[in-house]
Amino acid sequence: MEENFQSETERLSYIVAITGASGAIFGFSLLKALINHSYFVYLIISKAGFKVIKDELRMFVNLDTSGNLINLSDKIKDEIVNKFEIYNDRFAFLDEMFLEAKIASGSAKQVKGMVIIPCSMGSVSRIACGNSGNLIERASDVMLKERKKLIICPRETPFNDIHLKNMLSLTNSGAVILPPIPAFYNKPQSIDDVISFITGKILDNLGVENDIYMRWKGYD
């Protein structure tokens, strides 16, 4: 049977989810990097994610993001496109309650994997329990059941034993726990250097060739 792909780029896609933990800038950096590497990206931002973005990045401040966002998706995309200088037609913004989305199902074969960055402890907990109440949780559940790549970038410090148990449970289920912890061997000069390092580490883990961060070369 013929599959109904919208475009060639959409054939190879990733899901990027931004939840309500500190560091949404990492999520937007990954969105831009994947688009620059010719992938189509499905972007989901949780309701709490919008709260943190408004506070940390001063984005979407004039939008009421507390309700259904389907009618606001063009405005949300425009703001992302303008701030991060990325192509508008290479990503789709999906409301976190849009459970009818194709990525909510294992039949979305064009999706190669998913990254939740930053990932709140709330989302870690719900995904670890298989509690798929929104599209972020459901798409994560699909990644695990389909044995596709699911990278979770948890943001909290310190971790309590509940956080650690949930992350152990996720790693045992096949997820990769990749905390956005910077290295200093590459002598970062700016916050951008730190963001690029984490973005590059994620791309490496997805198997996407990149040279956006300085690798440890070792001593002879």
Contact footprint for ligand FMN (CB under 6 A): 19-22, 46, 48-49, 51-52, 55, 120-123, 155-156
The residue (of 19 and 196) whose beta carbon lies closer to ligand FMN is 19
Which tokens go with 175?
Answer: 């997820």
Q: What distance in Å separates the CA atoms of residue 29 and residue 47, rounded to the nearest whole number?
A: 20
Residue nearest to ligand FMN (CB): 20
Cα-based angle 28, 94, 198 (whole degrees, multiple of 5): 20
- Measured from the CB atom, the residue of 20 and 113 that comes closer to ligand FMN is 20
Choice between 24 and 35, CB closer to ligand FMN: 24
Minimal distance, residue 18 CB to ligand FMN, in Å: 8
Q: Are 112 and 148 in contact (CB under 8 A)?
A: yes
Half-sphere exposure of 98 (CA within 13 A, CB side): 18
CB of 218 to ligand FMN, least distance (A): 33
Shortest distance (Å) from residue 21 CB to ligand FMN? 3
Token pair, residue 219, equals 């001593």
Smallest gap from residue 22 Cβ to ligand FMN (A):
4
The helix/strand/coil state of 154 is strand
One-letter identity of residue 38: S
Residues in the chain: 220
Complex with ligand FMN: residue 47 or 148, whichever CB lies closer: 47
